[in-house]
Amino acid sequence: MRRIVTFGTFDVLHVGHVLILERARALGDRLIVGVSSDDLNFRKKGRRPIYSQTDRLHIISALRCVDEVFVEESLELKGDYLRQHQASALVMGDDWVGRFDEFKSICEVIYLPRTPSISTTEIIEVIRQA
Ligand code: C2G
């Protein structure tokens, strides 16, 4: 059983999020997604997400390609999460390239190309200006 783990906020879900989750799932037999908590997002990005952590977890767990979700409370716990979930591979978008190489002692680390021309930040900006 090849277990793939990935992480993200997945706020205002868009096709770039769905594509990376589908591509991650295709690399193994089971996809486990760590969804950033509201507090972690505030620490990372200086703002609370548009959708609450409860709603983001609900949305991600409803996707066909996702087998399991959990809350990512802290970036520092990533190694613990990977061990707890017996990850065969950590998959992240290439905006994080090199940043998680330290986990190569726990599992394979794979960076996939981001989907161009779409981001939550841009969606928020377009709506703000509408
Ligand atoms: N992503 C993508 N293409 C886009 C936008 C996002 O492939 N156009 C990918 C990102 O590379 C990431 C995932 O979708 O792998 C989730 O993106 P975010 O919600 O922006 O995740 P982020 O807030 O960067 O959180 O511990 C790591 C963090 O939790 C990652």
Protein residue with least CA distance to atom 24, ligand 1: 8
Q: What is the mean pLDDT of residues 39-50?
A: 92
pLDDT bin (cut points 50, 70, 90) of residue 40 is very high
Residue 102 is predicted with a pLDDT of 97
What number is the ipTM of this complex?
0.96
DSSP state at residue 37: P
| Res 44 pLDDT > 90 | no
Share of the chain above pLDDT 90, in %: 95
Q: Which residues contact 19 (CB under 8 A, 6 or more apart)?
A: 115
- Please give the mean pLDDT across all residues of the chain: 96
CA of 24 to the centre of ligand 1 (A): 12
Q: Which residues contact 75 (CB under 8 A, 6 or more apart)?
A: 40, 44
Closest residue by Cα to atom 14, ligand 1, is 17
Residue 74 has pLDDT above 90, yes or no: yes
Structure tokens at 8: 């993200």
